[in-house]
Amino acid sequence: MKTILFTKKIGMVFMLTLICGVVTAQSAKNVLDKAVAVISNKGGISADFQMTGKQYGNLSGSITMKGPKIQVKSPQAIMWFNGKTMWTYIKKNQEVNVTTPTAKEIQAINPYNFINMYRKGYACSLKKNGNNYQVHLTATNNKQSISEMIVTVNGKTYIISQLRIKQPKGWTDITIKNFKKANINDAVFTFNTKDYPQAEIIDLR
């Protein structure tokens, strides 16, 4: 009889562990779902960012986004992507490189793209840190270029304030500030030759 009761207790503990694990995973996913919904504002969003790490080096600037369209400004360069074509203006050389980027290249220039990884190939857990949520993503196989990521999300607004990304060369930290929703004109995401009349255009498509 004692053996049966002990077995039942072990079974209940095991079931509770499974249930808690599922609830945690669902909660983490729900937090990221809400964060993605904020970023996916129909009119577009803008924010300032600072990136540090060996993978991409140190970089700061601003990002404007509307769906797949992106504009990134930094002291060294300006990048426009209208969903198909990318223009990269190098201020020092006054050159504009025109390319059709791959999905991997788009991911590298857009810090917000990283958070969509939670949908496939990653296990996620959630913890509360003050007024923020921290979602920890861990790759479920070693083929992923990003093995871990920690996303810090405001507990009230669901705005992302920080991303920590672990890649082969180490951790990259991305801090995001001054997040705003806006109604952004699509022209913002296309290079305008009239604004840079001295620039040399190099078409690499």
How confident is the model over 3-48, as pLDDT tens digits? Answer: 444 344 444 443 433 333 343 454 888 999 999 899 888 899 999 9
Write down the pTM of the prediction.
0.77
Range(s) of the domain holding residue 198: 2-203
Question: Which range, of 13-22, 88-97, 152-161, 163-172, averages the lowest pLDDT?
Answer: 13-22
User: pLDDT for 162-195, tens place per residue?
Assistant: 999 888 888 999 999 999 999 999 999 999 999 9
**How many domains does the chain contain in total?**
1
Residue 39's domain is classified under what CATH number? 2.50.20.10
CA-to-CA separations, 139 to 56, 58, 119, 149, 150, in angstroms, rounded:
20, 25, 11, 9, 12
Enter the tokens of residue 5: 């009761």
Residue 32 is inside which H or E element, if any? Answer: helix 2-39
